[in-house]
Amino acid sequence: MKIPHIVLLSSVLAAGGGAQAQDTLTLGALVTLSGAGAAWGQGMKNAAEIAADQVNKAGGLDVGGRKYQVKVVAYDDKYQANEAVTVANRLVFEDKVKYIIGPVGSAPVLAIQPITEKNRVIVMTLGFTAKALSEDKPYTFRPNVTTAEVSQPQIDWLVRTQGIKKVGALFPNDETGQQIAQDLEAAYKKAGAKLPVKEFFERDRVDFVPLLTRMLARGIDAIELDGNSPATAGMIVKQARELGYAGKIVRTGGPATQEIVNVAGKAATQGMFVHTPIDPELPSTKAYMDLYAARYKHSMNGFSPAFYDGANLLFEAMRRAGTVDDTEKVRAELERISGFEGALGRLGWTGKAMYGIDHQLDAPFYVAEVQDGKEVIRARCTVEGCR
Partner 1 sequence: MDWTFLATQATVNGLIVGLLYLLMAVGFTLVFGVMRMVNFAHGEFYMLGAFGAYFLVSGAQLPFMAAVAITFAGALAGGALLEWGVLKPFRRDELNGMIATIGLAMILQNLALMFFGPDPLSMPPVAEGVTRLGKAVVPTARLYVVVFACAVLALLYGFLRFSRPGRALRAVVEDMEIAAIQGIRSRLYYPLGFGLGAGLAAVAGALMAPLFSVSPFVGGAPLLKAFIVVILGGLGSIPGAAVAAMLLGLVESYASLLLAGSTADMLIFAIVMAMLVLRPKGLLGRGEA
Q: Tell me which residues touch partner 1 (CB under 8 A).
A: 36, 173, 199-202, 204-207, 209-211, 213-214, 217-218, 230-231, 234-235, 238-239, 242-244, 259, 262-265, 267
CA 173 to chain centre: 24
* Gyration radius of the chain over CA positions: 22
Please tell me whether residue 247 adopts helix, strand or coil conformation.
coil
> CB under 8 Å to 209, separation ≥6 — which residues?
239, 242, 243
CA 352 to chain centre: 19
- Give the Cβ contact number of residue 217 at 10 Å: 9
CB-wise, 114 or 210, nearer to partner 1?
210
Task: State how far the Cα of 333 lies from the Cα of 282, in Å rounded to an integer.
Answer: 27
CB-wise, 200 or 340, nearer to partner 1?
200
* Max Cα–Cα distance, the chain, nearest Å: 75
CB-wise, 8 or 243, nearer to partner 1?
243
CB-wise, 237 or 343, nearer to partner 1?
237
Distances in whole angstroms, Cα of residue 60 to Cα of each of 49, 56, 57, 80? 14, 4, 7, 34
Q: What is the closest distance, in whole angstroms, from the C-beta atom of residue 194 to partner 1 in the complex?
A: 17
Task: State how far the Cα of 43 lies from the Cα of 45, in Å rounded to an integer.
Answer: 6
Task: State how far the Cα of 223 lies from the Cα of 173, in Å rounded to an integer.
Answer: 17
CA 364 to chain centre: 13
Q: Which amino acid is at 119?
A: N
- Bond from prior residue into 283 cis (ω within 30 degrees of 0): no
> Which of the 8 DSSP states describes residue 142?
B
